[in-house]
């Protein structure tokens, strides 16, 4: 993976190799996103403000995650004249939340994608092995026919993301993206190794994990901060 962290572009693309056409990792480096990420990282940010900021960031990330959706033109009539105008086409969308923190992303994304269906995967991380354990899986019946966006604020070890995408592929999903607020470099490498066909959109990449599998510097436990449980 090429380190392009010094490239001052609005959206930085990572993980494109000469040998493999791997979907890019998109780091949304827009000033508004980066400003809000700084606020959401701060330990001084209150629960209500944290929740609001995550919702706002999720909307901005959704804008990039859906940039390549298929379009078609239809005939409409404005108050002035008839015209041909673009609308979405192709596969319908499903947002899949990795519980519980993924739900903090859903409200903001659904503001932009109100017609999207929603699925949930319940995973918790074993504190000793850091491996994910599934306790819930509920998807639309036609999930295999939809374009799926998997959402979770933190991509730490990558184990939960890999397990969720494994499960979705078992259910017949063929087209996916993964959207997170902060990703660790080890988590990115693990997810891309396991699922090189899944594009990733994030607001920041941090280099390290600590001994408990938390991203450093990260922002702490996203679920606890969203729901005020710690």
Which sequence positions are flagged as catalytic? Answer: 125, 129, 221, 224
Q: Is 1 annotated as a binding residue?
A: no
**Closest-CA residue to 163 (of 202, 136, 145, 184):** 136
86 is annotated as contributing to ligand binding: no
Neighbouring-strand partners of residue 95: 118, 149
Q: Does 160 belong to an annotated binding site?
A: yes
Q: Is 167 annotated as a binding residue?
A: no
Nearest to 221 by CA among 135, 152, 132, 151: 152
156 is in an annotated binding site: yes
117 is in an annotated binding site: no
Please answer whether residues 96 and 151 qualify as being in contact, where contact means their C-beta atoms are separated by less than 8 angstroms: yes
Q: Is residue 154 marked as binding? A: yes
215 known ligand binder = yes
**Residue 106: which residues within 8 A CB-CB, separation 6 or more?**
58, 95, 97, 118, 151
Q: Has 4 been labeled as part of a binding site?
A: no
113 is in an annotated binding site: no
Does 155 appear as a known binding residue? yes
**Would you say 139 is a known binding-site residue?**
no
- 97 annotated as a binding-site residue: no
Annotated binding site for uracil: 215, 220-222
Annotated binding site for 5-phospho-alpha-D-ribose 1-diphosphate: 100, 125, 152-160, 221
Annotated binding site: 100, 125, 152-160, 215, 220-222
């Amino acid at each position: 993976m090429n380190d392009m962290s010094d490239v001052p572009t609005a959206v930085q693309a990572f993980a494109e190799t000469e040998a493999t056409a791997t979907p890019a990792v998109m780091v949304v480096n827009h000033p508004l996103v980066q400003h809000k990420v700084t606020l959401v990282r701060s330990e001084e940010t209150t629960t209500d403000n944290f929740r609001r900021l995550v919702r706002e960031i999720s909307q901005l990330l959704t804008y990039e995650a859906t940039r390549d959706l298929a379009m078609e033109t239809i005939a409409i009539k404005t108050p002035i004249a008839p015209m041909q105008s673009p609308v979405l086409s192709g596969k319908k969308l499903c947002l899949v939340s990795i519980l519980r923190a993924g739900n903090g992303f859903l409200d903001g994304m659904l503001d932009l994608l109100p017609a999207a269906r929603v699925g949930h995967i319940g995973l918790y991380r074993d504190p000793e092995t850091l491996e994910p354990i599934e306790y819930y899986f509920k998807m639309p019946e036609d999930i295999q026919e939809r374009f799926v966006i998997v959402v979770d604020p933190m991509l730490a070890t990558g184990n939960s993301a890999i397990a969720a995408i494994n499960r979705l592929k078992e259910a017949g999903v063929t087209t996916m993206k993964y959207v997170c607020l902060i990703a660790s470099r080890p988590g990115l490498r693990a997810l891309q190794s396991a699922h090189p066909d899944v594009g990733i959109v994030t607001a920041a990449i941090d280099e390290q994990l600590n001994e408990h599998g938390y991203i450093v510097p990260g922002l702490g436990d996203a679920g606890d901060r969203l729901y005020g449980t710690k």
